[in-house]
A and B are shown apart, each in its own frame.
Chain A
Amino acid sequence: MQKTKASNIIIFIILLVLAMAFLTPIFVVLMNSFKGKFYISDTPFLFPNSTTFTGLQNYTSGIAKTGFFNAFGMSLFITVGAVAVIVLFTSMTAWYITRVKSKFTNLMYYIFVFSMIVPFQMVMFTMTKTANVLHLDNPIGIIFIYLGFGSGLSVFLFSGFVKSIPIEIEEANMIDGCNPVQSYFKVVLPILKPIAITVAILNVMWVWNDYLLPDLIIGTEYKTIPIAIQYLKGGYGSIDMGAMMAMLVLAIIPIVIFYLACQKYIIEGVVAGAVKG
């Protein structure tokens, strides 16, 4: 017993050191976000002192330069919209292709699964062109593109779950006089809730942080947060490091709040997603 106690303390200390190491990068950025821009690249690991401390100046200039609040709103709009649409429509699709057995639904299922291993670069150019031709190159259109490109994983996860629901429940509804739409909203969707949360979490993590798709489809007219940060870099080499640090902090804050608020679901979602995948 004594031995395990001692080894537990050692492991605890090791973990504590590792945890500190994991947090250091975030801490360094936070520290530098309060320093004048000329001091950041010289001494990134020192605390701000009386000469280097600039208060909130980096934040105000960063917000002004990037239009941070617009970018935040845009990111929020696209993420919420895309995730809502993905959860609603892919669950319907998955329900349909699992319950209606035909050659077509079988084929669809395999194409959805196949799409999961196709890297984005494969369809990058042609998807962008298609979106332009169809006038989907705006914040509403991109939600539609996200639904299309993100449907593979979501349909796959939902299908696995639908298979485990006994079909008798739905048959009983049919006998009670529900049509398929009623039966979907009243019976199937509530049962799908756990996996719907998983799908939503995985998609939030993806859409919120996605850089390339919004950059290519809607360009610089409407910037999301990752794009606003990338464009802060601007021309060759000249970065306002102060504004950059402040923006990095502001970009991290929402996701950390989101994480702490739904931590339980996020970790469960990752596990559920992985086990099915």
Chain B
Amino acid sequence: MPTILAFLIAFVIPFVMGIYLSLTEFTTVTDAKWVGFSNYAKAFSNQEFLNALWFTVRFSVISVISINVFAFIFAMLLTRKLRGTNVFRTIFFMPNLIGGIVLGYIWQLIINGILNNYEVTLTSSATYGFWGLVVLMNWQLIGYMMIIYIAGIQNVPKDIVEAAKIDGASRSKILRNVTLPLVMPSITICLFLTVSNSFKLFDQNLALTAGAPSKQSAMLALDIFNTFYGKSGYEGVGQAKAVVFFVLVASIALIQLVLTRRKEVEN
């Protein structure tokens, strides 16, 4: 079974080893020395890590909300009977296919072009990097989420909407009491995808600002990468950060799934 073998090599073994190594001090895998939880203590007393954590959380909250709100509005507009909806869907989805590195450099050009008028650049302040990433992520993911919402909205049975209309329900009422509950499965998926994508963001961050100025716009994934490959002797700390990162991503994803699944109704 080649899959099982590849899976063992590429995932299971590194995963188990990763947890073990987070409790040791090492530079290569063979010279690991057991140090218990001191790596975790170091990680949490590391200002850059805390900064990256806070940056990532703020970024994720804002981009998850904005992406989903816009994607849902786009989906509502594009499920009406209009001319050219397919063309619009095609255009809105396209940025998603462009790779993270390329996206980062495209937006670097544009944002620097705008900021140039005020004699500052993208890397002058972490605030620019922050909003730059928010705009970039919105551009990239709105189309993807829109497609999923469109599928959800189209699955809402027409007769229920008709019945609500005949009963004299207003548009906003239909949206709140009929459409939203019935597209809850799509909302679950979209939230899950946006949350995990925002937290794991790496390529875009690297290409757009690479953490500049002085690592203030580095997100967790980039901070972990820098810990591994930037400073020798900190590999254990890097691995400890990675474990914290994993626990964080996994628990947020699971909590979110449980919460929104509870709101789903059978249709």
Chain A contacts to B: CB under 8 angstroms:
8, 11-12, 14-15, 18-19, 22-23, 25-26, 28-29, 32, 40-45, 85, 89-90, 92-93, 96, 108, 111-112, 115, 117-127, 129-131, 134, 136, 144-149, 151-152, 155, 205, 208-212, 225-226, 229-230, 241, 244-245, 248, 251-252, 255-256, 258-260, 263, 266-267, 270-271, 274-275, 277
B8 partner residues in chain A, CB cutoff 8 A: 148
From B15, B113, B202, contact of A118 by CB (8 A): B15
Instruction: State whether A12 touches B84 (Cβ < 8 A).
Output: yes
A93 partner residues in chain B, CB cutoff 8 A: 1, 3-4
Q: Could you list 29 A-B pairs, sorted by A, with CB under 8 Å? A: A8-B81, A11-B82, A12-B82, A15-B78, A22-B91, A28-B113, A29-B106, A41-B113, A89-B6, A90-B3, A111-B12, A117-B253, A118-B246, A121-B224, A122-B242, A123-B15, A145-B9, A147-B3, A148-B8, A155-B3, A209-B101, A211-B99, A211-B100, A226-B100, A251-B99, A256-B97, A263-B90, A267-B93, A277-B192
Assuming the contacts A117-B253, A152-B11, asked whether A125 and B102 have C-beta atoms less than 8 A apart, the reply is no
From A8, A22, A149, A277, contact of B95 by CB (8 A): A22
Instruction: State whether A230 touches B101 (Cβ < 8 A).
Output: yes
Interface residues on B, range: 35 or more
Closest to B5 in A: A148
Instruction: State whether B245 touches A121 (Cβ < 8 A).
Output: yes
10 other A-B residue contacts (CB within 8 Å) besides A18-B74, A44-B116:
A117-B196, A117-B254, A119-B246, A125-B18, A126-B13, A127-B14, A148-B3, A226-B203, A248-B102, A260-B90
B225 partner residues in chain A, CB cutoff 8 A: 121, 124, 212
Prevailing SS type, chain B contact patch = helix
A267 partner residues in chain B, CB cutoff 8 A: 89, 93, 147
- For the complex, is B206 an interface residue (Cβ under 8 Å from A)? yes
Instruction: State whether B77 touches A11 (Cβ < 8 A).
Output: yes
- For the complex, is B34 an interface residue (Cβ under 8 Å from A)? no
Instruction: State whether B18 touches A149 (Cβ < 8 A).
Output: no
From B11, B102, B116, B245, contact of A226 by CB (8 A): B102
From B15, B102, B113, B139, contact of A44 by CB (8 A): B113
Chain B contacts to A: CB under 8 angstroms:
1-15, 17-18, 21, 28-29, 74, 77-78, 80-84, 87-102, 105-107, 109-110, 112-113, 116, 139, 143-144, 147-148, 151, 185-186, 189-190, 192-193, 196, 199-200, 202-203, 206-207, 220-221, 224-225, 228, 235, 238-239, 241-243, 245-246, 249-250, 253-254
